[in-house]
Structure 1
């Protein structure tokens, strides 16, 4: 049986990467977000789900996957070690922004820095 210790950040990234590769980033946003939301409800902690965080991570993985030619997750992770940083979203968002009701229920634009694909030439 999987535990929180066995299903950590890297495993979440791998599932997200698989969803992005199979369905594309746009569809993966819905698929991954729905899965996380259902899991949070099942665990009795629906308040832990955050729509903006889920979408941001899928978009980040999708952005990097689009620039990677590898079909191996470990090679992908080695090519993009920034994604292994669980605190990566802090480069783009203030914690108060992500803790707000808008982020919990829907998309909010980064308030500290644009995502790589939002930058000129990115």
Structure 2
């Protein structure tokens, strides 16, 4: 599966899967498959991984899609092949709280946001 291949590539140089690795995996997916396909690929992969880990409640549909869209937007502006250069040029992507610029916490906490896509309620995601 494409998600598993991307995950293996990211983890070949990491000892744990943290936020930076999530952004790296998303960046690879966006570059190789485009943002639209990456939304599905990353979301399905995270959902499957959470379910396999016995924690399906950790999957959050809106958060997953929003991150892919943010990475996709910035990846379109950065044509290089180096992930480190990409995040150096877009340091906000390494801030786990970045989505609070677009969403109220109450919006992200709602069951509807966990189960499916909810539009940002503070300002639109660029794109």
Residue correspondence of structure 1 range 18-97 to structure 2 within 5 A: 18-97=28-107
Alignment counterpart, residue 111 of structure 2, candidates 101, 110, 117: 101
Using the size of structure 2 for normalisation, the TM-score is 0.86
1:53-79 CA distance string (max 9 Å, x none): 000000000000000011110000001
Report the Cα distance in structure 1 between the residues aligned to 2:95 and 2:111, rounded to whole angstroms. Answer: 24
Quote how far apart the aligned CAs of 1:43 are. 1.0
Unaligned runs of 5+ in 2: 1-10
Structure 1 alignment gaps of length 5 or more: 118-122
Aligned-residue Cα RMSD (Å) equals 1.5
Q: TM-score, normalised by structure 1?
A: 0.90
Number of equivalent positions: 115
